[in-house]
Amino acid sequence: MQITWYGHSTFSVEVDGESLLIDPFFDNPKTDTDPEELDPDHVLITHGHADHIGDVDRFRGAHFVSTPEIISYLTDEYGIENGTGMNLGGTFETEEAYVTMVRADHSNGLDTDYGASGGMPAGYVVSDTKPTQVADEASQTFYHAGDTSLHTEIREVIAPYLEPDVAAVPIGDHFTMGPWQAAVAVDWSGADYAIPMHYDSFPVIEQDTDDFVREVDAAGAQADVVVLDGDESFDLGDELGY
């Protein structure tokens, strides 16, 4: 599993040659990638705010996954023709991966507008093995927390049952968790690696990632913090030794 951060909350997850793109928004200062260069098989949308769906129209040939409300909106407003609506707690199976939609605590106005809601916002857990109550030591699992505040489902459900190896958490504060709450979320997740996201895109969410590193240490989390540059990749398989 190879994880690439394109700034803000935009990630690509490669699983055995299959590409899953999460929250495409390339109008941020961390990336130099032209989205036209990417050809994802699937696009996962956590919620309908403009800084998470800003470039969906670049990927009309991909298969989209989100809540039914978001899929309907993207179909009507962006011409998306291939989408699957699902909801919290559900798992969608692709050719090579399993995508489980999990809770995120946030607002969800479509295009950041007050006129309509996209339903519950979400995070995703992407794994190369089917989630079960039987632990699989050989699995590789990535948790994208979405835009969220700190909530106990991270500790009570995601950590013990979905067992993420990597947790990507927002640290920007103001609209989401800041560094200290994000550090607690990392500790609760039980992940081995933590990647900060959703920061520095706008002045109000500028952060020093060193603060996040210190907070993760103060929380007693077992995770190593991996601060990626925009367009930089992290190879989970290499880190886990398989």
Note the pLDDT of residue 138: 81
All residue ranges of the chain with pLDDT < 70 are 242
Measured CA to CA in angstroms, residue 51 lies from 189, 213, 234 at distances of: 25, 25, 23
**N-terminal to C-terminal alpha carbon distance within the chain:** 10
CB distance 85 to 79 below 8 Å: no
Note the pLDDT of residue 191: 98
Note the pLDDT of residue 118: 87
Identify the CA nearest to 161 among candidates 138, 136, 187, 144. 136
Note the pLDDT of residue 201: 98
Note the pLDDT of residue 89: 96
Measured CA to CA in angstroms, residue 239 lies from 95, 108, 144, 226 at distances of: 24, 35, 18, 12
Note the pLDDT of residue 112: 84
Note the pLDDT of residue 242: 66
Identify the CA nearest to 13 among candidates 200, 198, 168. 168
